[in-house]
């Protein structure tokens, strides 16, 4: 994709805790780069985090910065298709998953629709989002925000 005046910077949180979670997150990062009118401009390290308000194995997480010409609803739909292709099932809230892709921000867009809330309403409560986001976009995460989630178990993988 070549950047245009119609493209925006978006951030996507990635996570998985079933199967080979690290491979699933790496594959999803590659898949994001293949979305139409989209390129990945930054990728965080992989991070391991304990499930938050859920059971199951530890998660592998990352955050990607995208430059995209897709509108927020189009990007969300594309993310959901990637989840489905990875075998994502939703038997109950916070169930373990093969892949979870959350649209955190889409430019300066604001949305409070049931299917699309921007910026993501719980991103500031989650170390597994804030730590990788701070790695690639430190201007978006304050020290106070990181301090507020410091109690959550998370480690950067080598």
- pLDDT (tens digit per residue) in 114-158: 889 999 989 999 999 999 999 999 999 999 999 999 999 999 999
Distances (CA, A) of 83 to 48, 119, 157: 19, 20, 23
What structural domains and CATH numbers belong to the chain? 8-156 (3.30.70.560)
**Would residue 126 show up in a list of annotated catalytic residues for this protein?**
no
**Would residue 102 show up in a list of annotated catalytic residues for this protein?**
yes
Q: What is the pLDDT of residues 13-70, one digit of tens each?
A: 999 999 999 999 999 999 999 999 999 999 999 999 998 877 789 999 999 999 999 9
Residue 119 preceded by cis peptide, ω within 30: yes
Question: Environment class of residue 150 by beta-carbon count within 10 Å: exposed (0-12), middle (13-18) or buried (19+)?
Answer: exposed
User: Of these residues, 31, 43, 67, 100, which one is catalytic?
Assistant: 100
Q: How sure is the predictor about 91, in pLDDT bands with cuts at 50, 70 and 90? A: low
**Would residue 48 show up in a list of annotated catalytic residues for this protein?**
no
**Would residue 97 show up in a list of annotated catalytic residues for this protein?**
yes
Question: Environment class of residue 34 by beta-carbon count within 10 Å: exposed (0-12), middle (13-18) or buried (19+)?
Answer: exposed
Question: Environment class of residue 9 by beta-carbon count within 10 Å: exposed (0-12), middle (13-18) or buried (19+)?
Answer: middle
User: Of these residues, 31, 43, 67, 102, which one is catalytic?
Assistant: 102
Give the pLDDT score at 2.
Answer: 46
**Pick from 153, 68, 142, 51: nearest CA to 103:** 68
């Amino acid at each position: 994709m070549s950047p245009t005046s119609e493209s925006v910077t978006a951030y996507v949180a990635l996570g998985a805790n079933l199967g080979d979670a690290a491979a699933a997150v790496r594959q999803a990062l590659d898949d994001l780069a293949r979305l139409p009118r989209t390129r990945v401009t930054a990728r965080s390290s992989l991070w391991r985090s304990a499930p938050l308000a859920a059971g199951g194995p530890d998660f592998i997480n990352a955050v990607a910065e995208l430059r995209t010409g897709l509108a927020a609803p189009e990007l969300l739909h594309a993310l959901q298709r990637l989840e489905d292709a990875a075998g994502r099932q939703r038997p109950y809230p916070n169930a373990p998953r093969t892949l979870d892709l959350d649209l955190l921000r889409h430019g300066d867009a604001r949305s409070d629709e049931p299917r699309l809330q921007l910026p993501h309403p719980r991103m500031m409560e989650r170390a597994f989002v804030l730590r990788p986001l701070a790695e690639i976009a430190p201007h978006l995460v304050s020290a106070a925000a990181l301090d507020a989630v410091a109690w959550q178990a998370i480690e950067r993988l080598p």
